[in-house]
Amino acid sequence: MLIQTGVDCLLTGSNSANAHLQFLTAQDTVVEFVREERVVPAVTQDWMDEMSRFTRIMEPEVDEGEENNARVADDARDFSKAQEILDDLLSANWLNDNERAQVHQSYAWLAQDQEQPRLAIKHLTEALEYRESMNFRMEERLLYGLSRLHFSVEDYGNALKYAQQSMDRAQTVNDIYYPYMARIYLNLGELENAKEWIEKAIDKKNED
């Protein structure tokens, strides 16, 4: 119970699938290892145009005077149209691997907003098939998002697996990992490992 209390105090924010993938676009100061850079194919104008259409559907503009703006925005989204755009892109033969990976990432976004975590898992897994055509930071974010989605469906073994892979991509471990790793180990029943990560989280807080 003491370990659980420690994790709850350290881990802030929602455990919903929506919150889990926010990390994918979060701005932070994680520094990558010095390593040979990957050659990341440039995105094309046609791809950008289609993805802009998708984004406008997922993030519709709402009048500033509207009450309950978040609800109004949600109601304005046409998920079927957004899915149609992504399906058309995935069926196209002109996408390069970087573009295809980002379409799968966007599909995961669409799936999580429809509360379909297993579909989101499927698409993030497929996005990672093109990891050699993405930068290391994007790979880290996808791995972390995949871990959090597995956690949301109580698949703690895979949550641990992908969290460890995500950390392997970063030179400096982001603060968010410490309480998260403790919670994974707690759910796996590995109390000593959970305690170790709680202690790391406390030490990190004391350093800041």
Q: Tokens 């519709």, residue?
A: 60
pLDDT tens track for 142-186: 999 999 999 999 999 999 999 999 999 886 788 899 999 999 999
pLDDT given for residue 37 in this prediction: 77
Name the token pair of 26.
Answer: 């979060």
pLDDT tens track for 141-151: 999 999 999 99
- Per DSSP, the residues of 8-75 read HHH--S--SHHHHGGGGG------PPS-PPP-PPPPPHHHHHHHHHHHHHHS----TT-SSHHHHHHH
pLDDT tens track for 189-201: 999 999 999 998 8
Among 203, 137, 129, 204, CA closest to 166: 137
